[in-house]
Structure 1
Amino acid sequence: MSHSIEQINSYLISIFDEVLDIEEDALRGSNFSDLSISEMHTLEAIGMYSEHTSSEVAKKLNITAGTLSVAINTLVKKDYVVRQRMENDRRVIKLGLTKKGKLVYRLHEKFHREMVKRTIEGMDDEEVEVLLRGLNNLHSFLFELVESIGKR
């Protein structure tokens, strides 16, 4: 069992690092080289199909509203994000993606979709369920850890 724990830990660390490196390299070598990986994850948190308030996005990213505000200002200047005032309550501002923001979002989403397809390639339904159970356990552990240190 301890050998399995060490091997799984090694894979998780390697995968985390490799995914970030690949995402950063892909952005640098694309038409979106003006985006950092952090900004890409902000676009991902804003989402493709519905607008969200700054506080919703900040909560998703686990950052302060002030930190998000700085990031959003930059993304608006770079033409990836638009601020939209709500007609029924002009005080409420929703964040949405511009055409350029939606394009890079789709490319990023495609990478993640391909990564998942490759992960489960050759697995039967039962094996996929076992993987899902393990990933859910990991997600729950990380969520509880974040909760316990009061970051959410």
Structure 2
Amino acid sequence: MNRIEQVINELLVKIFNDILVIEQKTLKSGVLNDLSVTEIHTIEAIGMYTARNMSEVAADLKITLGTLTTAINKLIKKGYVERNRIETDRRVVQVQLTKKGKLAYRLHEKFHGDMIKDIVEGLEPSEEEILVTSLSKLSKFFKEKNDL
């Protein structure tokens, strides 16, 4: 690996780990201190406005239905999610956020918004464009690797 590749690798690993640590610290120090990062991401995948099928949420999170069921059971006990079966087809299970779950969603969304504002603060418009272009290429690379 050349020097630039090594620096990029170190930065990517550090950024990934730092985001997870900051997210966890923010959760533990705030009103959502009973949630893990995984649970808040499950809440995010369920979404704010409509009930979703368990299979859709599991697919979005790239986890098994069994793993999601375990996570949903914990979130139900904590009061963030409710689960319902569709009357026309009792095999279909849907989940949706409770009022408490919607609050958690909004607070997590604000956390990400504040983080992004801090990142771009002080950047010139041309630097913002370079950042967006670079992150888009990085995202495309990871999506292609993930779809294999």
Task: Report TM bin, short chain.
Answer: 0.7 to 0.9
Further displaced range: 135-144 or 24-33: 24-33
Describe the SS at the equivalent of 1:34.
Answer: coil
The whole-number CA distance in structure 1 between the counterparts of 2:88 and 2:66 is: 25
Deviates most, 60-69 or 33-42:
33-42
Q: How many residues align?
A: 147
Distance 1:29 1:115 in 2: 16
Q: Measure, in 1, the Cα distance between the counterparts of 2:13 and 2:117.
A: 20
Task: Give the aligned CA root-mean-square deviation in angstroms.
Answer: 1.8
Q: What amino acid is aligned across from residue 142 of structure 1 in structure 2?
A: F
* 1:84 matched to 2:84: yes
In structure 1, the partner of 2:128 is 128
> TM-score, structure 2 length as denominator?
0.87
Q: What is the TM-score normalised by the length of structure 1?
A: 0.85
Give me the identity figure in percent: 49
**1:49 Cα offset (Å):** 2.2
Partner Cα distance (1:125, 1:52) in 2: 38
Matched with 2:20 is 20
Please, which runs of 5 or more residues in structure 1 have no aligned partner? Answer: none
- Equivalence for 1:73: 73
- 2: distance between equivalents of 1:30 and 1:121? 24
Which residue identity lines up with residue 4 of structure 2 in the other structure? S
Distance 1:10 1:65 in 2: 34
